[in-house]
Chain A
């Protein structure tokens, strides 16, 4: 497996602590060269983004206080080309877009329960877009839902 360039960073926002821990430990093992930031709510997520401006934001939608969509809207105002990967429960694509606002069109979202390999595929696709190169690794591509 090729490793992404060290400059890549990902922010993971999820309000459920154990779920967040699984996400972060998994991504850390899978992408040892990627810098990971984690937040348990939208507000902290936004604060971390302001400090570190990561390339990719993986976020849950439904969180108390600031939702994933609301946070994404604020992040886009700071850095419009940020890549978002939404992890959704019951929220439809359209309501996420409405929550983000400003004519946002969703690119990547994964329904819960989340298949790690779907997530890897999308992360690598985003990294590929950022580094203007092909995706770094595709594991079992048949299990991945293509969004575009």
Chain B
């Protein structure tokens, strides 16, 4: 259920996006396969011509992305780019 709520929240947050959105994962210490699936689903539902990128992955989260090769699908930032406000 949490995964569905996340997808809905992401749809609301990104529906008017025109450029790129960056998902700050600094508070996420652990992710399982359904959480990963929800982030991939959020990528697939992004409006045409926009991008979903990730930032601040913990070592456990990074391991899940690299094992499943989803680290080749997302642009991953070590830190939030400074030109973005904190709530993007």
Do chains A and B interact in one complex? no
Residues of B within 8 A of A (CB): none
